[in-house]
Amino acid sequence: MAGDTTPTLYARLGGYDAIAAVADDLVSRLQADDLLGRFWQHRGADGLQREKQLLIDFLCANAGGNLLYTGRDMATTHRGMKIDETDWRRFIGHLRDTLASFEVGVGEQEDVLAFVESTKGDIVE
């Protein structure tokens, strides 16, 4: 039997451009949130753009795309930010809303949420 022909999550989500659009929408929602916006205060435009690009690369690489993520691991990146359970739940709500607004399929939404939830232990203090 030949290799697995099941499309990657990256392909099922629509590839780089679709993931970049979702990431851009998500970060905009997070920045505008009354609770979560504090994490983006006092950052320059260049730093924000770099952060979005790292998010895109991280998501693409972990969804099975051929991009290389060169950023730090999640624990190092989020250490000291004091992200708590309330922040996490709010973030997940925005992620769900973003995926729904892009009409991402239910199966793909579940796969994205399962992956994101797998990073919680490294992010929530």
Q: Where are the domains of the chain?
A: 12-120
Amino acid at 83: I
Residue 61 scores a pLDDT above 60? yes
Q: Is the entire prediction scored with pTM above 0.95?
A: no
Residue that the structure tokens 């990146």 belong to: 77
Average pLDDT over residues 81-99: 98
What are the angstrom distances between the C-alpha of 5 and each of 1, 11, 31? Answer: 11, 12, 38
What are the angstrom distances between the C-alpha of 6 and each of 3, 12, 43, 57, 86? Answer: 9, 10, 41, 22, 36
Distance between CA 72 and CA 6 in Å, rounded? 30
Amino acid at 4: D
Distance between CA 35 and CA 53 in Å, rounded? 23
Q: Which residue has the higher pLDDT, 96 or 41?
A: 96
Reported as a single tens digit per residue, the pLDDT across 11-60 is 999 999 999 999 999 999 999 999 999 999 988 999 999 999 999 999 99
Residue that the structure tokens 């697995």 belong to: 4
What mean pLDDT value characterizes the chain? 94
What is the pLDDT confidence band of residue 5, given thresholds at 50, 70 and 90? confident
| Tokens at 116, concatenated | 């994101």
Residue 1 scores a pLDDT above 90? no
Q: Which helix (H) or strand (E) holds 56?
A: helix 45-62
What is the pLDDT confidence band of residue 92, given thresholds at 50, 70 and 90? very high
Q: Which CATH code fits 12-120?
A: 1.10.490.10
What is the pLDDT confidence band of residue 122, given thresholds at 50, 70 and 90? very high
